[in-house]
Chains A and B, each alone.
Chain A
């Protein structure tokens, strides 16, 4: 059974870069049946899709975040990562990573989720 665990600093200062890592166990991140995704949820609000990436390095970020988002994959550590630049209070959220089975899209659908990590943007 796959497990995903997000990790990273719980607080980031405005204008700095948010960096998170998702460690995958129970499956290989190079499994070509899946994409790997990031989703966030501001406190008390709904889910927002950030983007997905494939083990080849191809990534598909949300158009609303694409200018600030980069995603990468590290097969040697079975991890994938998210970087979000120039953060503001609006980026305060619970950040989830997910395993997304491939379908007829380049996003897949988030099927297995981590427990989430809260990131607060504050000076």
Chain B
């Protein structure tokens, strides 16, 4: 099965750097994308193709990938960044997708 593993929670103080990881075998050959979901809202794409950021997403949000791990980094995190973050990737065959379990980011 195509599994993506994320830590359940990450907590930082305002202004600190938050790092959220996503691990899975498929990530060695497939791109990861990342989504921010605030309470009661639909998910929003923040990173695709491992590192690409949509124009409307703040530059403090960035992505990287190495081997079987993708990483979302939020530099100088703000209270407004509090959300659940999900990674997504296709499986190795490219035919099926999966989301990670989600990471709740707390900034306080």
| Residues in chain A within 8 A of chain B (CB atoms) | 37, 39, 46-49, 51-52, 60-63, 96, 101, 103-107, 109-116
A24→B33 CA distance, assembly (Å): 23
- Taking Cβ atoms with an 8 Å cutoff, the residues of B that contact A are 1, 30-31, 33, 35, 37, 42-45, 48-49, 54, 84, 86, 88, 90, 94-102
Are A116 and B33 CB-contacts (below 8 A) given A60-B96, A107-B97, A111-B48?
no
Given contacts A46-B99, A49-B97, 9 further A-B contacts (CB under 8 A): A39-B99, A46-B100, A47-B86, A49-B99, A60-B96, A62-B96, A105-B90, A109-B31, A113-B42
Closest-CB distance, B42 to chain A (whole angstroms)? 5
Residue among A48, A49, A51, A101 with most chain B CB within 10 A: A49
Interface centre among A48, A63, A115 (most CB of B within 10 A): A63
With CB as the reference atom, state the residue of chain A lying closest to B94. A105
Q: How far apart sit A63 and B90, CA to CA, in the bound complex (Å)?
A: 12
| Complex contacts, B30 vs chain A, CB 8 Å | 104-105
User: Can you name 14 A-B residue pairings with CB atoms under 8 Å?
Assistant: A39-B99, A46-B102, A47-B43, A49-B96, A49-B98, A51-B96, A52-B97, A63-B1, A104-B31, A109-B33, A109-B97, A111-B48, A113-B43, A116-B42
User: How far, in angstroms, from A48 to B101 measured CA to CA in the complex?
Assistant: 9
Interchain nearest-CB distance for A3 vs B (Å): 12
Contacting residues, chain A, for B1 (C-beta < 8 A): 63
Which of A61, A101, A103 has the most CB atoms of chain B within a 10 A radius of its CB? A103
Residue of B nearest to A50 (CB): B97
Contacts of B96 in A (CB 8 A): 49, 51, 60-63, 107
Known interface pairs A103-B49, A106-B94. Does A49 touch B43 (Cβ–Cβ under 8 Å)? no
